A and B are shown apart, each in its own frame.
Chain A
C-alpha cells in the first residue's frame, strides 16, 4: 500500500504556483456568535447531485461536507475521511473515516453512507459523474472503512472528491424525501443546519450544536439572500443590509475600495475565456492560421477596456490557470501573455498558409482570390462576453479577415454549441471554460481529447491531435506527481504549437465585504466558504450596523 497523503504533499512541491485565494483575519482571535448575511445565487435545486454551479455550492457547503478538501496550497486535507491508502495496482483507493459523526437527522455517518452516495451518483447519473470516470463501484469494507474500485488508475480521483458537489448527504433523508426533498432541505454533517428556505428569497443556516469538530463553527447563523441584480447587491452592501456581496462590477471597484468600512478582494478564477475555433472548417484546419488568429488579438487591450484593467488577468499558459495542478508559466521570455499581440507575425503566418491581400482591399485572399471570412458567434451573458466578441471582431478585421458577428440568446447559443461535427455551423464562438476541481484531468481528457468531440464531451473545436491525446492519457493514469506534472507541461507545450482555440484572459473574481467579517474564504472556483467565519462585534457596532 502506498500512502496517498504523501503523494498529495509532493503535489504541492510540484505545483509551481500556490492557489491564489482571499483569506482574512486569521491572526485575530475568533469571536463567537452573530449572524452573517451574504448575497448568493441559487438558480437550481439545492441537491448537490443536480447543481454544480458555484452559487449552488455556496449554499450546500454550509451543511454538507466532503471526504477530503483542497487547501489553499493545493494539498488535499482530510475532512470526513481520516486518511487514505491505495492498492499496489492503483485500482483501489481505501478511505478510513472519522468515527462518531452524525448527520443532521441523527443518523450515523459511516462507510455505508459514503458507498450509498457514490453508488447512487453512478446509477442516477448525478451531474458530476463525468468527474468519476473509471469508478466502478464503492464498497463499505467495515463500519468506518470504504473502498473506491476503479477500472483503471485515475490520478484525478482524490482531487475530484474534494470538489464541493461531491459532498456526503444523508442517505436516510434521501431515501425518505428523494432528490426533490434534499433539493429544498439539504441534510449533511456540516457545521450548519439548514433551517429555513424561501425560494428566490433567502436560505438560513443555523449553527450545528452537535458539530463533530469541537468549538466550531463561530457564527450562530448564516443567511444567504438571493439578489440577482448586481446594482442592488452593491447598494445592499453599502447600506449595511448585507455583510458581503459577490460579483462586484469592475468599474465599481475604485469607488468601493475608497470606503473605510469595506474591503474589496480580487482573485484570479479558474475560468478562462476562449474563442472556439472549428478545426474542421477550412482554412482553420491549418495550425498556422489558428496561431495567426491568436497573435492578432490584443489581450492586454481587452483587459483594459472590458475589465477596467483589474477584472481579468492575462493568460500565462494554454487552458490551465495558476492553481491548477501541473500549471507552468508558458510565456515567451519578456512577454506578458502567451501569444502576445503581434500583428506582423500574424500576417506572416497567414502568408505562409497562402493568404495575402492580393488586390489591395485590406482583406486577405487565397490563391484563387477568395476572401477569408469567418462567422463569430457570441451571447449576451457572462462577464463582458459580448464586448470581448466585439473586440475580437475588430482585431480580426484589422488582420484582414472579414468577420461576421452574430449574437444569440443564451439558451439558443448553448444548444447551437452542443452539436456534433456534422451539424455544427460556427467558425468561431466565444466561450469560457472552468476547471472547478483545479485538476488538469478534465481539460486534458474531456475538453481537448479526440474522444471528447461534441456531443460526447466538451471538445467543440473538433480538435484532434495524436500527441496531446497520448500525453493526456499518460497523465490520467500516472500516480507519480512529478511525472504527471511533466506530462501536463508537455501537453501545454503541444497546445501552444497547435493553438486549437484563441486563448483569451482569465476572468478575475471580485467580492466586497464589511471589514468586521473575518475568516471567510473565497476560492478560485468561485465558491465562498464562510463556515469558519466570525464577526468582530465591536467593529460592526462602530459602523452603525445593528442587524
Chain B
C-alpha cells in the first residue's frame, strides 16, 4: 500500500514537470505576444520592449525555460504577468474555492445517483424507473449554462430566495452546487442503474432472496457493494469532468475558482499563471486517481491480495 502511494507520488512529480515543459512549448508555439497584451494594443514598440526586458521575455527560450524550471523545483511558480502577484498566492485560494464547489457538488451527485440509480434498478422498467430515466436524460442533455442561468433568474431574481454571485455565505453555495451536482448526478444515475441491474441479476442475489433477506438489505448491501467497482471508476473520472464544468459554473455564479482563473489566464497569455493553474489541476486529478485506486482495494479486497 505504502509502496503504491510512494510510486504514485513520484509519478505525480514526473508528470507535473513534463506537463510544465509541454505547456511552455505550447505557449511559445501559438501566436500572441504577452508583452504586447500587457502594454495594450496601441502601445509603442519601445514600451513593449521594456516590458519584455522587465519580465525576462526577451531572453532566449532555453534560458527562460531553465530559469523557470529551476524556480519551480524550489517551489516558486513566478509572478503573474498581469497582476504581478506570486502565482502560488493567486492559485492556492482559488484551488480551495474550486475544491469546495466541486466537493459539495460531487457529494450531492454521488449520494443522489446512488439512491436514484439503485431505486431505478430495483423498479426496473416500472414507472419510477422511467421517471428517473427521464430526469437523468434531461440532465445529461441540458448544458450547465442553461440550467445555471434559469436557476439564477428564477431563484435569485424572481423569487429572491438565493443570492446570485460570490461565495460569502452558505446560501451562496446552493445554486452552483445544485446546478453542477444535479448535472453530474444525471450522468452518474445512468451508470449506477446499469451496474445495479447487472449486479441484481447475479446468482447470489437470487440466493439471498430465496433465504428471505429483506429487499432493502439485498439492494443496498449486497447489490451495491458488488456494483461499486465500476461506479468508483466512473466517479473518479466524473470529478475530472466536474472540474471542467466548474469553469462554466464559476463564470455564471461568479465563483472565484480556479477554472475561471485558468480560462482568463490563457486568453491573456499569462504563461506563469496558466502553468500554475494547469499544474495544480493535473495534480488534483492524479491525486483523485490515487484515491480511486485505494478505494478499489477497500471495495474489493481481492485486488490488494493480487
A binding-site residues for B, Cβ under 8 Å: 43-45, 47, 50, 52, 125, 127, 129-130, 179-180, 183-184, 198-202, 225-229, 231-232, 235-236, 238-241, 409-412, 414-418, 431, 433, 446-447, 454-458
Contacts and interface: CB of A to CB of B under 8 A. Distances in A.
A120 to B, nearest CB: 13
Interface of B: 30-33, 36-48, 50-51, 79, 82-85, 90, 93-94, 149, 152-153, 156-157, 160, 163-166, 251-254, 256, 260-261, 264, 267-269
Contact of B33 (A127, A180, A410, A418): A418
Contacts of A416: 31
Nearest to A50: B84
Nearest to A240: B160
A232 B256 contact: no
Nearest to A42: B83
B149 A127 contact: no
Contact of A414 (B37, B46, B153, B165): B37
Contacts of B84: 45, 47, 50, 179-180, 183
Contacts of B164: 232, 235-236, 239, 241
B94 A415 contact: no
Given A43-B82, A130-B43, A415-B36, A229 B254 contact: yes
A241 B36 CA distance: 36
A227 B79 contact: no
B167 to A, nearest CB: 8
Nearest to A381: B267
A457 B48 CA distance: 11
A100 B163 CA distance: 44
Contact of B165 (A236, A238, A411, A412): A236
Nearest to A545: B160
15 contacts: A44-B38, A47-B84, A127-B40, A183-B85, A184-B83, A184-B85, A202-B166, A227-B165, A229-B254, A239-B157, A417-B41, A418-B48, A431-B41, A447-B42, A455-B48
A446 B40 CA distance: 14
A225 B42 contact: no
B160 A239 contact: yes
B251 A228 contact: yes
A233 to B, nearest CB: 8
B40 A235 contact: no
Nearest to A231: B149
A410 B40 CA distance: 12
A239 B156 contact: yes
A456 B85 contact: no
Contacts of A454: 45
A525 to B, nearest CB: 14
Given A180-B79, A411-B267, A52 B40 contact: yes
Contacts of B50: 125
Contacts of A241: 156, 163-165
B80 to A, nearest CB: 9
- Point out which of B30, B46, B166 has the most chain A C-beta atoms below 10 A from its C-beta: B166
A229 B264 contact: no
Given A127-B47, A225-B165, A455-B45, A180 B37 contact: no
B44 A130 contact: yes
Residue with the highest number of chain A CB atoms closer than 10 Å, among B42, B93, B160, B163? B42
Contact of B85 (A199, A225, A228, A418): A199
Contacts of A198: 93, 256
Given A130-B44, A232-B164, A201 B256 contact: yes
A414 B41 contact: yes
Contacts of A129: 47
In this complex, the member of A202, A415, A417 whose beta carbon has the largest number of chain B beta carbons within 10 angstroms is: A415
A415 B41 contact: no
Given A125-B50, A414-B41, A229 B31 contact: no
Contacts of B94: 200
A235 B39 contact: no
A227 B254 contact: yes
B36 A418 contact: yes
B268 A43 contact: yes
Given A199-B85, A236-B165, A411 B43 contact: no
Contacts of A228: 251, 254, 260, 264
A47 B38 CA distance: 13
A45 B270 CA distance: 13
Contact of B269 (A239, A411, A433, A457): A411
A431 B42 CA distance: 11
Given A232-B152, A232-B165, A200 B33 contact: no
B261 A235 contact: no
Contacts of A179: 84
Nearest to A198: B256
Contact of A433 (B42, B90, B253): B42
Contacts of B37: 411, 414
A411 B268 contact: yes
Contact of A235 (B33, B38, B157): B157
A168 B38 CA distance: 22
B45 A229 contact: no
| Among B39, B44, B157: residue with most chain A CB under 10 A | B44
Nearest to A126: B47
Contacts of A200: 94, 256, 260-261
B267 A414 contact: no
A238 B158 CA distance: 9
The 8 A-B pairs at the shortest CB distance, nearest first, are namely A411-B32, A458-B42, A455-B45, A412-B31, A125-B50, A201-B256, A238-B157, A44-B82
A202 B43 CA distance: 29
A456 to B, nearest CB: 6
B166 A229 contact: no
B165 A199 contact: no
